[in-house]
């Protein structure tokens, strides 16, 4: 996948060649920065190779379903989510191993307490991150994250162009990611 060019000739019916070229131009150049960012931000417990490969796959899948306006932002946001999921699963699996097998029968099918606490903490941290954004960026991020509105609808609601919405989403995603990484690393999260 990454770094592999298609050896077959490009023909109009071969979208794979277009994907290879697009990937090499828009995603692959960010791999070293992504790897360094993941290693620095999430520490040695993270399986960086797994996160990077899964993020690449998800970027390609997203491209197949529609044109990505900000591939780099999508790549980093996807990698961040995958890294958080991986670390949360690791923490939960360590906690689960401490529970006696006899207690597993009395637990219900709902999320475990550690998963619920982790999700609530992550949500509180994301809320803080969004609240720290400038007003326009905060409005755009809230409409996208909380209400799930499309870029077009957000633009119509706020009276701004789709391009401005995309730019604000990219800025908001980057700043929220930086805020959350600072907090997770033990910083205060303020600028």
pLDDT single digits (tens) 104-142: 443 444 556 777 777 777 788 888 889 999 999 999 998
Q: CB of 129 within 8 A of CB of 190?
A: no
Q: What is the pTM of this model?
A: 0.43
Confidence of residue 85 (pLDDT cuts 50, 70, 90): confident
| pLDDT value, residue 106 | 39
| Over residues 145-156, mean pLDDT | 89
Residue 153 binned pLDDT confidence (cut-offs 50, 70, 90): very high
Distance of alpha carbon 176 from alpha carbon 3, whole angstroms: 30
Report, as an integer, the average pLDDT of 79-99. 69
- Assign residue 190 a region (left: φ > 0; alpha: ψ between -120 and 50; beta: otherwise): beta
Average pLDDT (46-72) is 87
Model confidence band, residue 101 (pLDDT cutoffs 50, 70, 90): very low
Q: What is the mean pLDDT of residues 158-181?
A: 91
71, 87 Cβ separation under 8 angstroms? no
Which residue ranges form the domains of the chain, and what is each CATH number?
1-97 (1.10.1740), 114-191 (1.10.10.10)
Per-residue pLDDT band at 146 (split at 50, 70, 90): confident
* Mean pLDDT over the full length of the chain: 77
Percent of the chain at pLDDT exceeding 70: 76
pLDDT band for position 9 (cuts 50, 70, 90): very low
Token couple for 189: 């999260």
Q: What is the pLDDT of residue 137?
A: 93
């Amino acid at each position: 996948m990454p770094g592999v060019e298609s050896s077959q000739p490009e023909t109009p019916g071969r979208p794979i060649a277009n994907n290879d070229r697009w990937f090499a131009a828009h995603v692959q150049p960010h791999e070293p920065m992504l790897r360094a960012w993941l290693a620095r931000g999430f520490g040695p417990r993270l399986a960086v190779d797994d996160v990077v490969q899964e993020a690449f796959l998800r970027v390609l899948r997203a491209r197949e379903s529609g044109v990505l306006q900000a591939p780099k932002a999508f790549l980093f946001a996807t990698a961040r989510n995958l890294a958080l999921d991986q670390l949360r699963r690791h923490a939960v699996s360590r906690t689960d191993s401490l529970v006696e097998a006899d207690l597993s029968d009395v637990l219900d099918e709902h999320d475990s307490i550690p998963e619920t606490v982790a999700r609530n903490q992550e949500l509180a941290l994301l809320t803080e991150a969004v609240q720290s954004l400038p007003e326009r960026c905060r409005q755009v991020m809230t409409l996208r994250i909380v209400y799930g509105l499309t870029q077009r609808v957000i633009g119509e609601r706020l009276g701004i162009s789709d391009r401005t919405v995309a730019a604000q989403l990219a800025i908001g995603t980057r700043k929220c990611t930086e805020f959350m990484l600072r907090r997770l690393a033990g910083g205060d999260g303020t600028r």
